[in-house]
Structure 1
């Protein structure tokens, strides 16, 4: 510890780096605690992690702890090897996950996303290992690098989404809410609450019970969900019946019966809460599956609903496929920005390929 303070006092570079790390942490915490539904929070957190790793590396080098340096190098080597192994054999994981989802869930196209991703990765590796790519002319290779660059860009966007999704799971709960909005997700046989939706209602009931146990007023539930083409009653009505059956007094249940998607869940639930409360100064939380709450939070923000989400448990095998769907939804929210960047990447590589072709012709 004494050696650490000596380094801090004698090494100006280390002192400045320490201050920068603290500033980056402060910026992240300020942004995240003020508005956890901002995508920039993932970038700020990643910046803090990078600076923290550099800071730790500086300590190891400055203290000349040879054993720690060796251990540090080994950890980095192991991490790199794990990344390579994960990239090389990720197609096996995605195909196995697709099998589990197909076995346990409904046979829909949306539930086959991990299957298609696994096949795409497998085909890419076969082409790479076969050496066929080396036979292609240089100018065409340059052009074909464009999809790789686009994939790398999308991977960075996906990484930022995953960081935000993880951070959103630990947003402070604040057990003093006026309304708990439960998002619908479809009914079984057109009239009963399926397990996925039941988990959302159960989580809201658990939250309400904990709030009362802490000495606060019991919140009101807003069951949010309209009637689908294949449903006999609205999702909200089925959710109310389920909640009453599990001990919730009907006087604490409000219904929102018009919504068809998450955006409308937020929009129409906000109107129900405002009408009941008398103004929009109420406090609210919404409830959905843990993989869905961040994107739902973005929808809430877009509608002006000042509410953050609380997630309920989802079986692990279903998470990869569900998270891929959520990521696709995030891309669509900012589709113009992403399409512009992808177009710029494509045009850039076309120009490089054309220049190379002209040079070869000359």
Structure 2
């Protein structure tokens, strides 16, 4: 079998698998899903497009683009492990995520279970749960998060809801006001979010005048490729436009 035939088989198999994976997330379509589906189509067409100077140049640009994309992804993964919380902060900000009709999403459940873990270490810390209500959510993310934590033994009187935000940037802007009402300017706080989201979260917090550490929740394996692809685009936006 020629090398060209082997390459065609490999790219076809990987392309089909990526396409099926992307379709599995079609009902929660976001930029990460688009990147996965785009890569799948590129791989399926890679050896089927006639090789002329124009297509070879286009392929070269695609390879450079995906190397750059992959490098940022690795950076996000590594940088997300830095600036870890000490475990004795005055407060934690738990960032919201998708709420389904059936309950909290896998990513949000990971954040909330990590909050329970942190609470067992530092039960005196105030907990700010964040997130408004999307058009396809049955309630605000903050309310769903509060209910989950209370149902799992967290005292209701240490939980504060920030339920007006529609973005991570607004999470921090609104949470900062809550913290200042609770502690004035003398407090320490950390962020609880999934590991893929930690680096950008700290950056957005700094843009809102908050120097926070992170206490990372795991990223669910099933959504990890989509989550990291989406996050690369979000980090590029943060670097370019500062939001």
Quickly name the TM-score band, shorter chain normalised: 0.7 to 0.9
Q: In the alignment, does 2:13 pair up with 1:107?
A: no
> 1:232 Cα deviation (Å)?
4.5
Give 5+ residue unaligned stretches, structure 1: 1-84, 213-217, 338-362
Structure 2 residue aligned with 1:116, among 38, 44, 53?
Answer: 38
Give 5+ residue unaligned stretches, structure 2: 1-5
* Bigger strand share: 2
Q: Which residue of 1 aligns with 2:139?
A: 233
* Bigger helix share: 1
Q: Which residue of 2 aligns with 1:176?
A: 88
C-alpha contact 2:91 2:188 (8 A) present in aligned 1: yes
CA RMSD, Structure 1 to Structure 2 (Å)? 3.0
The within-5 A match list for 1:1-362 is 89=10, 92-93=13-14, 95-100=16-21, 102-103=23-24, 105=25, 107-110=27-30, 111-127=33-49, 130=50, 132-133=51-52, 136=53, 145=57, 148-149=60-61, 152=64, 155-156=67-68, 158-189=70-101, 192-211=103-122, 218-279=124-185, 281-335=186-240
Q: 1:122 to 1:195 in 2, by over 3 A?
A: closer
C-alpha contact 1:100 1:317 (8 A) present in aligned 2: no
Distance 2:121 2:153 in 1: 14
Instruction: State the TM-score, normalizing by the size of structure 1.
Output: 0.57
> 1:308 Cα deviation (Å)?
2.5
Larger Rg, first or second structure (1 or 2): 1
C-alpha contact 2:76 2:196 (8 A) present in aligned 1: no
Q: 1:335 to 1:170 in 2, by over 3 A?
A: closer
Higher relative CO (Cα under 8 Å, sequence separation at least 6) belongs to 2
Task: Give the total of aligned pairs.
Answer: 234
Distance 1:240 1:101 in 2: 32
> 1:182 Cα deviation (Å)?
0.8
Instruction: State the TM-score, normalizing by the size of structure 2.
Output: 0.81
Q: 1:160 to 1:235 in 2, by over 3 A?
A: closer
Deviation digits for residues 26-78 of structure 1 (CA, Å, limit 9, x no counterpart): xxxxxxxxxxxxxxxxxxxxxxxxxxxxxxxxxxxxxxxxxxxxxxxxxxxxx
C-alpha contact 2:15 2:44 (8 A) present in aligned 1: no
